[in-house]
Amino acid sequence: VKLQLQAEERGVVSIKGVCANRYLAMKEDGRLLASKCVTDECFFFERLESNNYNTYRSRKYTSWYVALKRTGQYKLGSKTGPGQKAILFLPMSAKS
């Protein structure tokens, strides 16, 4: 899966699936979904943490993070919080 981060403003990004041409969105119940168009649920605060991992916190639902469990399934936004391993993403450069 190839993802493209697009800067919307300082510290805020949208995350787009290149092949699917859809944007990652966090819904009001905390589910992560793919949206055909950019909405206010598609923007995330990107932060480089002191451990050199990135976190992505919803701009609309400000206490919820994008998180993946060990199984690869997403974690509901309402079940996430600072300090959890599931919210940490290792930034990598894309190879052509």
> Which residues, in sequence order, are CB contacts of 44 under 8 Å at separation 6+?
12, 13, 14, 15, 24, 26, 56, 57, 58, 59, 66
Residue 22 is predicted with a pLDDT of 98
Q: According to the model, what pLDDT value does residue 55 have?
A: 98
3-class DSSP string for the chain: CCEEEEEEECCEEEEEECCCCEEEEECCCCCEEEECCCCHHHCEEEEECCCCCEEEEECCCCCCECCECCCCCECCHHHCCCCCHHHCECCCCCCC
User: How high is the mean pLDDT of the chain?
Assistant: 95
pTM: 0.93
Architecture of domain 3-89: Trefoil (2.80)
- As a whole number, mean pLDDT of residues 9-20 equals 96
pLDDT tens digits along 31-65: 999 999 999 999 999 999 999 999 999 999 999 99
- Position 91 scores a pLDDT of 84
At residue 2, the pLDDT reads 87
pLDDT bucket at 15, cuts 50 / 70 / 90: very high
